[in-house]
Structures are given as structure tokens and as C-alpha cells.
Structure 1
Amino acid sequence: MTSMRVHRLASRLAGAVTALLAGSAATNSANCPRQYALGTSRVLAVDAKTYPRVGLGSFPETLPLADHEVVLTFDDGPRPPNTEKVLTALAQECVRATFFLVGRSSAAFPELVRRIATQGHTVAHHSWSHPMMSKIPLEQAREDIDRGIAADELALNGISIKTPSTHFFRFPYFDSPPAVLDHLKSRGIAVFGADLWASDWENITPDQELRNLIERLTTARKGIILLHDAQARTAAMMPAFLRYLHENEYRIVHLVPAAPAVTNAKPP
């Protein structure tokens, strides 16, 4: 009898979570200025304990995405005017993404960090100075990560703290030394690689960048996509890429951090 009650309770909780996530997508669609916008299909809460390292370009596993589901992620911002242009393109289609911010840029443009969050995107972390972590001592790498988190948090919440409100981090250049990976895991911070990317750090045109994405997405059919909102070519390419996703029936998944586990402490 007890096991049946537990099963019913679990079913109700699962139903409530499903309804909550569905409601998030429905609200996003309802608030869109365009009737037939791409929209955000669902919200995926990522627990660092379950997915400590994701992205097939760097690690053995990735997020549990269905066929034709994509996650949009942006690195190296915020940087005006390109980040604003990317935000405008995303808002036009009611699409939500994850921005991995460089701390010194957050310190320079705090109002842009707040705009990213206000528009419903997830603010994540990408170090303070964008170094090659394998080229510097472990303690320096840890300090650069902490300084970046503190700058992002100060811009976002007005408090300079080393504990991130979103436990997501991406290594600059995907350069992830084992000792630093272990350090982040010990802090409960999920590390993101990517499944495919636009190669927008190369000297290419927006059209070439779009062709890169279409070719790689046609092969992969789903995945975490790496882009750079700091790049003018990416800002120029985004409206066309979002149209491509819509016309080819891709669905956007928005990442958020999983809520902390609640423990029911017994009274003494």
C-alpha cells in the first residue's frame, strides 16, 4: 500500500513538472510579437550531478535531446552592438538561449548582462580573461574562473560572489585540463562543450557561416550549437539561421539550472 502511494505521488509530481515546462513554452509563444514565430519548444533543467560534462565535441556524452531539437549557446559576450543585434533576432522569434559571458566584458557592460537576463535567457560563465587554461597554473586558472563568475554576478545581481547563480561553465577554446575539470565538478558546476558550431571565429562571411551551420546540422540533426554573440558576422547571420530552423521544423530547447535538491531534515 505504501509503495502504491509513493507511485501515485511520483506520478502527480511528474505531471506537475510536465505541465510547468509546457506552460513555459506556451507562455513564450503567447507573448511573441509574431503569430508564426519559431518560439521556444521546451525548457530543460540541467543538474550538474547528472550531466557534469556535456557536448560531443569535447566529452563522451551530451544532453538528452530528441531529433530536431537544438540548444543555442553564445560565447564571449556581452559586446555591443553585436550582442544587442543577436538579442533582437532572438526576441523577434521568441527564442531563448544560454550566454556564456566573459567576466571583463560583463564588468564593462553590466546593463547588457541584465538585458540578457531580463529577456529570459540563461546567463552562464566563460572565465574572466578568456585564457588557455592548460597554459597557466591551476591556481591561476581557478582565480580567473572565480573572478569571471564574480564579475557576471555583480553585473547581474549587484553582488560580487564566487558562487554562481547558474552553475554552467564553458572553457575558452574548449581547453579543459583534467585538474580544472575536477575542480569545477567538486563545486557542482556543469561544464559545457558543444555538439556542433558555426566556426564563426574564422574570417568568413555571414553566408559562409550559415552554410557551415546548415551542413553540420543536417548531419547531426540535433545538438548544442556554439555561436559567438561578440562576432558581427554571427549577429548578421542570426535572422536567416532562425528562419532556417523554423522552416525545417527544428525545435528550440532552453537550458536552465536544476533546482537544488530539497532534503527533509528530521527534528532532533
Structure 2
Amino acid sequence: MWFAGVGLTRDGYRIAVVDGEGRPVGAAERYERCAQQRPVARLAELAGRAPDGLTVVVDSAGGLLDGLLATAGLDVRRADPHLLVDGRNTAEELAGVGQARFGALVPLPPGSWIMTGREQEVSAAEAAAGPVERRLAAEGRCLLGGGEDSEPTVALTFDDGPHPENTQRVLELLRRHDVRATFFCIGLNALAHPALVRRIVEEGHLLGNHTWSHAYLPDLGREGLRQQLDFTAEVLAEASGVGQPVLMRPPYGGRSPQLMERVADLGLTTVLWDVDTEDWAEPGAEVIAERVLRQVRPGSVVLMHDGGGDRSQTVAALPRIIDGLRRRGYRFVTPAELLTGRPRTATR
């Protein structure tokens, strides 16, 4: 059996493969400034060559690739923190862990997510973060959504882009309806599609940081967290020309008391949500729109997605959402305008 580790670099992805004895199978390969399909296709090719099969090893920072790899029919397994160091694991280290500690890896079959098997731990960490979130919200350093606004305002937000098809379709609808929104971008996607980042800003929308690789942030130490956020901020600033975003949204909403404090210490404001469309599950455009119109209240933050899969249902729901909210007198704003003190600056 061969074991492939998928590591992350400032320029993209790195793949290293070892055999059942821990010996390298060829040289490590780099895939830079590209969409995820290239490394996924290469791993599928390697799986066809492996004498007794291939296992792909990721860590909890690999949330951008795990689903695509599993859907491609690959054996994907997660190495948890006790096997690793700080979420900054190289491709070689992950491949080596696969070979040496195969029985300790967690399978990630199609339909699972990067934290499969640890759901209770994830929920407990989120619950424990509540007091810190409320304190930071009172200080204007965290936005929970659904505040005490007397005005009917709402912030539309989109996660996981930019995507070459979905993001353009969302932008066109927002332009047509004269609505300003906020896009929480994944750094690796922004690296692959910088022109879309520029377009988002040029059309008057706000950028937010959604980490480098859709990582589950509570698993990371200080340096791993810094790299996930700094790499993304640098790429967004380079592509947009408007500075680094100060708004950050943790993938999966994954958070802990320690994470919330560390993000605030880095000078970033965490933006959560109170209206979850769950559009990632593709429930249908009518259901997506109904969920927004049923749950929204003054000061709401609506979570949608322009990346991470087929978002045609989200695109189809968007006009109904906008028209329905306008009929109720809602005004579309950004998270920066909903924060305590209503700061207008969203970059640094």
C-alpha cells in the first residue's frame, strides 16, 4: 500500500507519497495557484498505480479537499492532533503518519466532513466559547447576528469562494438588485482566482477571511492559526489592492474560548451568523429562501455559500430572498455596519 500526504504551502498544495515500508515513491510534487481539481486528479492517478491501493492522509486543516477526494473514490483518512504538530504538517509528515499509524487514522467516506467522529467535542467547544463570544460582542470584536437594532437591517454573507462560476453568478444578481454583500474567501481559492477577488471589491462588496484551507481552527496552535489567517489576508490584499480584511469567519463555525481570544489578539473581528440557510445540503431554492424569510430579524447575518460545491440553488433563491426582504422594509448592510460602534473600515 502507498500513503499520500497532502500538505499546504503559501503557494498551494504539496503531495508526498511513501510505500508500506516508509520509503518515498518519487519526489514530492507541488501544485501552485490552482483549483483543487488538479491535486485531486493527480491523487486519483496515483491510486490507479499503487500496487495495493492508496490512502490519502489529511489533517483537520484539510477541509477544502476531503470531500472532493472521497467523492473521487479515494480512501481518505484524517490524522488527529495527538499524532501531529500544530496544524502545520508537511506532506511528508502526513504520509509518514499514514504508514506508521494507519490504525489511528479516522476514515472520511463520501458524505462525511473533516471532523467526522468528533462531533461531541466540536459542540462542547462551541458551547464553552459562549461567554467569550458575548464579551467580545459587547466590545465590538465579535458579531453574533440578530442584535438589538431598531432598524430593519440585514447582512448577506457568502462563504467558501471565490468560485469561477458560482461567484460570478452571485455577483451579477447582486449588481442587478443593487445589493451590497460580504464574501468570506478561502485563501487557496483566492490564490487560484485573484480576478474574482478584485471584482468583488470593485463592485462594492466586502471581503472577509475564511482561512487558507477551510481548517477546523480549534485544532491549531498559535503558529498554525497565524499561518491560516495571515496567508489568506496577504493573498486577499494582493488581489484586491484594498488592504487586509479585519473580518474573519471560522469554517464550520468551529470555535473554542481559546480560539476566540487568539483571533481577537490578532486584531480580527469574528463574524458568526443567526440565519443559516444550510444551502450546502442543496435542499432546493424554495427551502433556502423560506429559511431566510422565516428566521430573519433586525440585525441578522445570513449565511450562504458561493463555493464548496454546486450552488445553483443558492443563486436561484437569491432574487426571492432580496425581493422578500425588501418588501418587509429591510435594508442591506455589511457586518461592519452591524458591529458595536458601527465602524466603516473593514481593512487594515
TM over 0.5: yes
207, 211, 228: which one pairs with 2:305?
228
Matches within 5 A, 1:53-132: 53-56=142-145, 65-132=149-216
Identity across the alignment (%): 29
Q: Which moved more, 1:65-74 or 1:126-135?
A: 65-74
TM-score by length of 1: 0.68
Match of 2:41 in 1: none
CA RMSD after TM alignment: 2.4
Aligned twin of 1:10? none
- For the Cα contact (< 8 Å) 1:48–1:189, is it kept in 2? no
| Mapping for residues 194-233 of structure 1, pairs under 5 Å | 194-217=273-296, 220-230=297-307, 231-233=311-313
Look at both structures and tell me which one has the larger radius of gyration over its CA atoms: 2
Where do 5+ consecutive residues of structure 2 fail to align?
A: 1-135, 337-342
- Which of residues 151, 158, 165 is equivalent to 2:244? 165
227-236 vs 70-79, which deviates more? 227-236
Q: Normalising to structure 2: TM-score of the pair?
A: 0.54
Q: Quote the offset at 1:242 in angstroms.
A: 0.9
In structure 1, stretches of 5+ residues that fail to align are 1-46, 57-61, 159-163, 261-268
Q: For the Cα contact (< 8 Å) 1:78–1:102, is it kept in 2? A: yes
Between the two structures, name the one with larger relative contact order (CA 8 Å, sep ≥ 6). Answer: 1
Q: What is the aligned partner in structure 1 of residue 219 from structure 2?
A: 135
Out of 210, 224, 232, the position equivalent to 1:148 is: 232
Superposed displacement of residue 66, structure 1 = 2.7
Q: Is the 8 A contact 1:132 1:172 kept in 2?
A: yes
Partners of 2:241 and 2:282 in 1: how far apart? 36
Task: Determine if contact 1:101/1:125 at 8 Å carries over to the other structure.
Answer: yes
3-state SS, counterpart of residue 134 of structure 1: helix
Letter in 1 for 2:156: L
**Which residue does the alignment assign to 2:334?**
254
Contact kept in structure 2, 1:49 and 1:188, CA below 8 Å: no
Residue 201 of structure 1: SS of its match in structure 2? helix
Q: Does 1:174 align with 2:253?
A: yes
Aligned length: 202
Distance (Å, rounded) in 1 between the aligned partners of 2:255 and 2:214: 12
Aligned equivalents of 1:101 and 1:111: distance in 2? 13
